[in-house]
Amino acid sequence: MPRDKIFANKDASSGSFEFNDAVADVFADMLRRSIPGYDASIEAIGALASRYVQPATNCYDLGCSLGAATLAMRRNISVPDCEILAIDRAPAMIERCQEVLGTGHATVAARVFEADVRHVAIENASMVVMNYTLQFIPPDDRLTMIEHIYAGMNPGGVFVLSEKVADDDSAVESLLVDLHHDFKSRNAYSDLEISRKRTAIENVLIPETTRTHLRRLNDAGFEHTSVWLKHFNFISIIAIK
């Protein structure tokens, strides 16, 4: 696994964060060293797939990046005639996701598309995953995105939404930011790298509170919603139609 040194490079000291070739090359390492509980969220997606995916339905990995959630679903779906659609708008991510999904034998079909997830048809879905994706969509478009997902899901289907969040309490928010900083330091990111990435991503990743996410899911029509995984300021929510 190539080591993430994107923000150790002096040329990375300015500009916004982009999902380009350089990031795609080290993204697997970046995720695991930057997001506490990331592996647990992927494992949990697999567990949900084994329980909630229905025969002859579609599953969606919206903002698939390298395809980790797609792989987790594909390895755990045991019902027949299902297809996974993995979508990302970054060409570099799509290229590498196709390489990952193309290795080995699979009994569940998976197709990869380069597209903006806001413009993808959601149809006959029994499982939809947005794993740290909604936070990169403009806030004004987020309710429409969730309503679009809800409309394309079958009754009994599950939606998994993982996000970096902000806390309502400013003191708690400050603590969680510090704990996340410490987490990245323990994973061998320097203070300079942490600072540079925070600056680069500031206007690209826009977090919201857990309360806002849950209210939006309810407003879209989901009746059963809950935070089921949380590590510092990173959460995963399940919503069942």
Q: Tens of pLDDT along 119-173?
A: 999 999 999 999 999 999 999 999 999 999 999 999 999 999 999 999 999 999 9
Name residue 189's amino acid: Y
By DSSP bridging, strand 153-166 and strand 208-209 are parallel
In percent, the amount of the chain with pLDDT more than 90 equals 89
- Residue 118, classified by CB atoms within 10 Å of its CB into exposed (0-12), middle (13-18) or buried (19+), is middle
Length of the chain: 241
19: helix, strand or coil: coil
pTM given for the model: 0.94
Q: Tens of pLDDT along 73-82?
A: 999 999 999 9
How far, in whole angstroms, is CA 91 from its chain's centroid? Answer: 17
Q: How many domains does the chain have?
A: 1
Determine contact, residues 52/28, Cβ cutoff 8 Å: no
Q: Tens of pLDDT along 175-226?
A: 999 999 999 999 999 999 999 999 999 889 999 999 999 999 999 999 999 9
Q: Which domain holds residue 147?
A: 1-241
CATH code for the domain in which residue 178 is found: 3.40.50.150
Nearest partner of 214 among 194, 234, 238, judged by Cα: 238
